Structure 1
Amino acid sequence: MFVDKRFARAAALLACSAVFSFAHAEEAAPAKLPNVVILATGGTIAGTGASTTTTIGYTAAKVGVDKMIESVPELKKAANVRGEQVVQIASESMTNDVWLKLAKRVNELLAQKDVDGVVITHGTDTIEETAYFLDLTVKSKKPVVIVGSMRPSTAISADGPINLYNAVLLAGSKEAVGKGVLVTLNDQINAGRDVTKTNTSTADTFKTPELGFLGYMQDNKPHFYRLPVRKHTAETEFDVSKLDKLPQVDIVYGYANMNRVALDADVAAGAKGIVQAGVGDGSMAAQMLPAFREARQKGVIVVRSSRVGSGIVARNGEVNDDKEDFVVSDTLNAQKARILLMLAMTKTNDTKKIQQMFYTY
């Protein structure tokens, strides 16, 4: 059969063109956006002030999650976002009950195939505590990112919108998978275990003393430079799914000329554990050691932490912990040591096992 060579060549060129066009279309197709759920709890990021220059004396926890999402239209380019209002409070009013509710909801969401990550909006006063609680109780390697702001939503140069945008990018990223609960503000990424608030009002308040940031948000993506090495999230032994209450654990602050009034009051009020935010290396004043000893003899678990803000509290350093049957907090500050002790006591009252938990998490 005779075939016109010109027709054959044209057909071949047409076929090549079709293949090229298809490949080009495939290459140009937009990447599938991740699915991120925003759980709102209130805080300054949801706060409003009397004027655009009000950055002190504003009212926290006024803006609902839907309005917050609408105020950052760029979120639509970062992820498929939906929101839920868990509570609407200033974070100084955070409670154990809210933590349990939040942890259970996060675990429910992350168990769903159509959820790639969770962002939690939160007041900055207790972000570090919520972050560590979730770092110990979330049962998934999917990203959980906690975010807040230092200026209310109505302020000039409010930092909430860019912080929220970065948090959604981070929660939807593959790079954040398996790195535990993260805190991001001011373009910086911190580990939930290590981060702490260091300034009352500036935007760069969140830092990890000595150990440093995990990374940065830049060019609409995360850049990690170190990893958290302590066990977290899916690797922990803590299960809050059936818990409706946590043991009472209180903090006693160390200072010169300290007396035992606060400690005795906490024990009398039913504290099952006491964390001492001691001076220096968790030192106990001579007049306080008998009071802590008596508390331990009553079954109260005693953990020595430090008010210093960084460094390891050495076991058997300033106090004979073996003799007194005390626990040391390792590098955890007092407020985070309280969280680990509460969760530890849902598993055991054996101080040796609890001490090992402080070296593990």
Structure 2
Amino acid sequence: MAGAARTVAIYSLGGTIAMTTDPATGGVVPALSAHDLLATVPGLDALGIDLRVHDFCRVPGASLTLDNLAALSEAINAMLEGGEVDGVVVTQGTDTIEETAFFLDLCHAHEAPVIVTGAMRNPTMAGSDGPGNLYAAVVAAADRKLRGTGCLIVMGDEVHAARHVRKSHTTSPAAFTSPGGGPLGSIAEDRVHLVGRLPDRPAPMRPLAQGARIGLYTVSLGDDGALLGRWADACDGLVVAAFGVGHVPQQLVDTLEQLAARIPVVLASRIGNGPVLTRTYGFAGSESDLIKRGLIPAGSLSPYQARLLLHQLIAQGTGRDAIAATFTTFAN
């Protein structure tokens, strides 16, 4: 790459990208260190980028916790305070890569970009995508064009905003898409080529893992509300993954109104693509009816993103009106 030498920090969390076969079970498990991962990437040394390697943890993506993410965010922010690193790469399992990227984006307080990547095919498989994804992530983290962009995901030579990216397939190497507007750009010839606009980002939050228990309730056909009523004393906040643009069965309306009078209840869509509406439908259980009853629309956030944002807000002692105002910033 042209210009002055660049420095990128690598944090390895485990996941498919770091898995090898376990002789005891015959299945793959996280075992490779960050140094092991880097050793598998052809041409990385030729980039002339100084890599600072951190073995953060070695767990499947499904086993990452909010404690892990808060500690990772704090470690990244502390490293960037010194200004000696131009970018950061995080490798992890793709099961929770959307949530990690969104959490880190909420808490990122520096100009240097944070790039999250992983693999859909583990290193024992033909066509393993881990080395290529890691190479592209390092290129992205070192590229000056991505300064001030917060946290991004790089998979399959595409650059995706943490706000918009979704894992849309269980096994395909092309699993990661941004259905709301497409990728921000691509990686080619060791450079980032931007084609999209980065969404606005709110002021960074403190990375908190404790202080709130947030429920996620998915509405389904024939739901009579009996199970929903049991959430009343189980959480400090609730996200409802509703039908379509924010609709629920009429049988759930009274229970949701009672819950919203006690705790913040956020109305998201289980679709994962497109916004929750606010004033189009008017029947009992419609989006406008639920908002009048005290539910907070999630805008374009997925239920999983809404849960993380609500957790951070409640853990920091944010009041209901301020919570609603913050979610309004995610309307687009």
**What is the aligned partner in structure 1 of residue 257 from structure 2?**
293
Identical aligned residues as a percent: 29
Q: Does 1:114 find its partner at 2:84?
A: yes
Q: Does 1:307 find its partner at 2:270?
A: yes
**What is the aligned partner in structure 2 of residue 342 from structure 1?**
311
Instruction: Classify the secondary structure of the residue corresponding to 2:192.
Output: strand
**Contact (CA 8 Å) 1:179, 1:227: kept in 2 or not?**
no
**Contact (CA 8 Å) 2:137, 2:154: kept in 1 or not?**
yes
**Contact (CA 8 Å) 1:327, 1:351: kept in 2 or not?**
no
Deviation of the 1:246 alpha carbon: 4.1
Q: Does 1:202 find its partner at 2:172?
A: yes
**Contact (CA 8 Å) 1:147, 1:167: kept in 2 or not?**
yes
Instruction: Classify the secondary structure of the residue corresponding to 1:74.
Output: coil
**Contact (CA 8 Å) 1:45, 1:123: kept in 2 or not?**
yes
Structure 2 CA distance for aligned equivalents of residues 151 and 58 of structure 1: 13
Alignment of 1:204-243 (within 5 A): 204-232=174-202, 236-240=203-207, 243=208
Structure 1 residues 97 and 267: CA distance shift in structure 2, 3 A? farther
Alignment of 1:9-48 (within 5 A): 31-48=3-20
Instruction: Classify the secondary structure of the residue corresponding to 1:355.
Output: helix
Structure 2 CA distance for aligned equivalents of residues 155 and 77 of structure 1: 26
**Contact (CA 8 Å) 1:145, 1:170: kept in 2 or not?**
yes
Q: Does 1:251 find its partner at 2:216?
A: yes
What letter corresponds to residue 186 of structure 2 in structure 1? Answer: Y
Structure 1 CA distance for aligned equivalents of residues 231 and 65 of structure 2: 17
Q: Does 1:283 find its partner at 2:255?
A: no
Structure 1 residues 259 and 41: CA distance shift in structure 2, 3 A? farther
The CA RMSD measured in Å over matched residues stands at 2.0
What letter corresponds to residue 228 of structure 2 in structure 1? Answer: L
Instruction: Classify the secondary structure of the residue corresponding to 2:315.
Output: coil
Structure 1 CA distance for aligned equivalents of residues 229 and 64 of structure 2: 25
Structure 2 CA distance for aligned equivalents of residues 334 and 244 of structure 1: 18
Unaligned runs of 5+ in 2: 281-285
Query: Structure 2 length normalisation: TM-score?
Result: 0.91
Deviation of the 1:332 alpha carbon: 0.6
**What is the aligned partner in structure 2 of residue 54 from structure 1?**
none
**Contact (CA 8 Å) 2:22, 2:29: kept in 1 or not?**
no
Deviation of the 1:141 alpha carbon: 1.3
Structure 1 residues 315 and 353: CA distance shift in structure 2, 3 A? farther
Structure 1 residues 244 and 206: CA distance shift in structure 2, 3 A? closer
Structure 1 residues 30 and 250: CA distance shift in structure 2, 3 A? closer
Structure 2 CA distance for aligned equivalents of residues 257 and 294 of structure 1: 21
Deviation of the 1:31 alpha carbon: 4.1
Structure 1 CA distance for aligned equivalents of residues 292 and 201 of structure 2: 29
Structure 1 residues 244 and 254: CA distance shift in structure 2, 3 A? closer
**Contact (CA 8 Å) 2:210, 2:315: kept in 1 or not?**
no
Structure 1 range deviating more: 119-128 or 105-114: 105-114
Deviation of the 1:63 alpha carbon: 0.9
Structure 1 CA distance for aligned equivalents of residues 160 and 37 of structure 2: 23
Structure 1 residues 221 and 58: CA distance shift in structure 2, 3 A? farther
Larger Rg: 1
What letter corresponds to residue 331 of structure 1 in structure 2? Answer: S
Structure 2 CA distance for aligned equivalents of residues 177 and 211 of structure 1: 21
What letter corresponds to residue 151 of structure 2 in structure 1? Answer: V
Instruction: Classify the secondary structure of the residue corresponding to 2:179.
Output: coil
Q: Does 1:174 find its partner at 2:144?
A: yes
Give the length in aligned residue pairs: 321
Deviation of the 1:198 alpha carbon: 0.2
Deviation of the 1:290 alpha carbon: 1.5
Structure 2 CA distance for aligned equivalents of residues 244 and 64 of structure 1: 25
Structure 2 CA distance for aligned equivalents of residues 180 and 30 of structure 1: 23
Q: Does 1:268 find its partner at 2:221?
A: no
Structure 1 range deviating more: 259-268 or 146-155: 259-268
Structure 1 CA distance for aligned equivalents of residues 279 and 318 of structure 2: 20
Deviation of the 1:315 alpha carbon: 2.2
**What is the aligned partner in structure 1 of residue 283 from structure 2?**
none
Structure 1 residues 261 and 81: CA distance shift in structure 2, 3 A? farther
Deviation of the 1:321 alpha carbon: 4.1
Deviation of the 1:159 alpha carbon: 0.4
Structure 1 residues 290 and 75: CA distance shift in structure 2, 3 A? same
What letter corresponds to residue 296 of structure 2 in structure 1? Answer: V
Instruction: Classify the secondary structure of the residue corresponding to 1:175.
Output: helix
**What is the aligned partner in structure 1 of residue 329 from structure 2?**
360
Q: Does 1:327 find its partner at 2:296?
A: yes
Unaligned runs of 5+ in 1: 1-28, 52-56
Structure 2 CA distance for aligned equivalents of residues 341 and 244 of structure 1: 12
Instruction: Classify the secondary structure of the residue corresponding to 1:288.
Output: helix
Structure 2 CA distance for aligned equivalents of residues 346 and 289 of structure 1: 27
Structure 2 CA distance for aligned equivalents of residues 278 and 159 of structure 1: 35
